[in-house]
Amino acid sequence: MNQPEQTDAAPGTPSAQVTQLLCLLRDAVPLIDLRAPGEFARGSVPSAINLPILSDTERADVGTTYKNSGQAAAIELGNRLVSGEVRDARLKAWRDFLTRHPDARLFCWRGGLRSETAQQWLKAAGVSAPRVAGGYKALRNACLDALGSATTTKRWVVVGGRTGSGKTLLLQRTPLAIDLEGLANHRGSAFGARDTPQPETANFENQLAVVLLQHQHSVLLLEDESRTIGRLAIPESWHSKMQSAELIILETDMASRCANIRREYVDEPLQQGLPEADLAQRIEDALDRIARRLGGARHTEVKRLLAEAFDNGNHSAWIERLLSWYYDPMYDYQLEKKHQRVTLTGDADTLLNYLNSELQPLG
């Protein structure tokens, strides 16, 4: 495989190859990830589909042969394992995808033997498909570079507010925002787990990079978050930047906060088909995880009100106690350390009017 031509670039300026990779990611160009399913599961890019040239078992066997007997023996084994009907089936899958997506490209780990082999098989079948230079490794590095550059190329604004104030709803109302909790598939608290699992770390970061590349404004709005969202960590450079960024505070009354919490944590899961008993157990388990910090008597009281709520429908009672006894004191303590960064406090419309006045596309 010919190596891509190296180009001179000013410090901090992406090379021509990196720029091309960023365009592929930003434009969501369809990609065929030829790596084994296990590799794909650990991380790929959002526009990729996994159509492997080797299964996990085949890859392991080829890798062992390569280690013990060298490249030629490994290639020979790979050709034996992927031959006849197996080869025909995999070639057909690639051809079918390329028929639907003529602009698709191929990649493997580093743009080497696997993607070269697939490209040759396709060429012999009369189908042309370019490879991604550098493969997944290059795509992953491009994503990480994009995430790092955002800390200096945009003006960051962080929206804070008490639990249940509707920060996520506010994010959904402006194109300036990136929803970290949505990308992490977690609401960011002890009660924030969803029915579907969180993505792998690499997939979370790669998806975030793609959303960032598609973000066309000079101002970037994010919700105030702790270092982790569920089991996923926000990229270190992002979290560090968020700790010094301008902070605007969303104010919402207690009744509206309770209604927001009920909608997100009770009504929506039930509407999505989660059995009531399972939901009650999920919330009770989350309460148990914060029992020590909540305090024994208060923990018992909230659990009692929770149990009653699934009988009488009065979820506001336990939600208000939880907000007042647990989340609000913690919020007040954290805000005290951040108050010098606060530039605006108000309701959703006040904050949106301020943000809209700063709404500028990138030139």
CATH of the domain at 255: 3.40.50
pLDDT average, residue stretch 289-310: 94
- The per-residue b/e assignment along 83-102, b for 16 or more CB within 10 angstroms, e otherwise, is eeeeeeebbeebbebbeebe
Q: CA-to-CA distance for 152 and 241, rounded, in angstroms?
A: 9
* Residue 12 in this model has a pLDDT that exceeds 50: no
CA atoms within 13 A on the CB side of 29: 19
Among residues 108, 142, 176, the one where a domain terminates is: 142
Among residues 142, 167, 194, the one where a domain terminates is: 142
Same domain assignment for residues 226 and 330:
yes
Q: Classify residue 106 by its DSSP letter.
A: E
Q: Look at residues 326, 195, 165, 119 and name the one whose alpha carbon lies nearest to residue 261.
A: 165
Same domain assignment for residues 267 and 345:
yes
Q: CA-to-CA distance for 5 and 343, rounded, in angstroms?
A: 48
Q: CA-to-CA distance for 290 and 298, rounded, in angstroms?
A: 11
pLDDT tens for each residue of 321-353: 999 999 999 999 999 999 999 999 999 999 999
Same domain assignment for residues 166 and 307:
yes
Compute the C-alpha angle 18/214/9, nearest 5°. 25
pLDDT band, residue 85 (cuts 50/70/90): very high
Same domain assignment for residues 265 and 122:
no
pLDDT of residue 192: 79
pLDDT of residue 156: 96
pLDDT band, residue 15 (cuts 50/70/90): confident
Same domain assignment for residues 166 and 259:
yes
Residue 49 lies in a domain: yes
Q: What is the DSSP annotation of 202-255?
A: HHHHHHHHHHHHT--BSEEEEE---SEETTEEPPHHHHHHHTTSEEEEE---HH
Same domain assignment for residues 108 and 187:
no
Residue 5 lies in a domain: no
Q: Are 82 and 97 in contact, with CB atoms under 8 Å apart? A: no
Residue 295 lies in a domain: yes
CA distances from 338 to 162, 247, 263, 341 (A): 14, 8, 29, 6
Q: Which domain holds residue 46?
A: 16-142
pLDDT of residue 5: 29
Residue 4 lies in a domain: no
Residue 37 lies in a domain: yes
Same domain assignment for residues 238 and 345:
yes
Write out the H or E segment, with its range, that includes residue 256: helix 254-262
Same domain assignment for residues 192 and 296:
yes
Same domain assignment for residues 137 and 255:
no
pLDDT tens for each residue of 164-210: 999 999 999 999 999 999 999 998 877 878 888 999 999 999 999 99
Residue 106 lies in a domain: yes
* Residue 155 in this model has a pLDDT that exceeds 60: yes
Q: CA-to-CA distance for 91 and 113, rounded, in angstroms?
A: 16
State how far Cα 169 lies from the chain centre: 18
Catalytic residue among 23, 108, 143, 258: 108
Same domain assignment for residues 181 and 63:
no
pLDDT of residue 308: 95
Is residue 108 flagged as an active site residue?
Answer: yes
Task: Phi first, then psi: give them for residue 163, nearest 5 degrees.
Answer: -55, 130
Same domain assignment for residues 104 and 136:
yes
Q: What is the CA radius of gyration of the chain?
A: 25
By CB neighbour count within 10 A (0-12 exposed, 13-18 middle, 19+ buried), where does 209 fall?
buried
pLDDT band, residue 211 (cuts 50/70/90): very high
pLDDT of residue 188: 80
Same domain assignment for residues 43 and 99:
yes
pLDDT band, residue 7 (cuts 50/70/90): very low
* Residue 70 in this model has a pLDDT that exceeds 60: yes
Task: Phi first, then psi: give them for residue 198, nearest 5 degrees.
Answer: -75, 155
CATH of the domain at 35: 3.40.250.10
Number of domains in the chain: 2
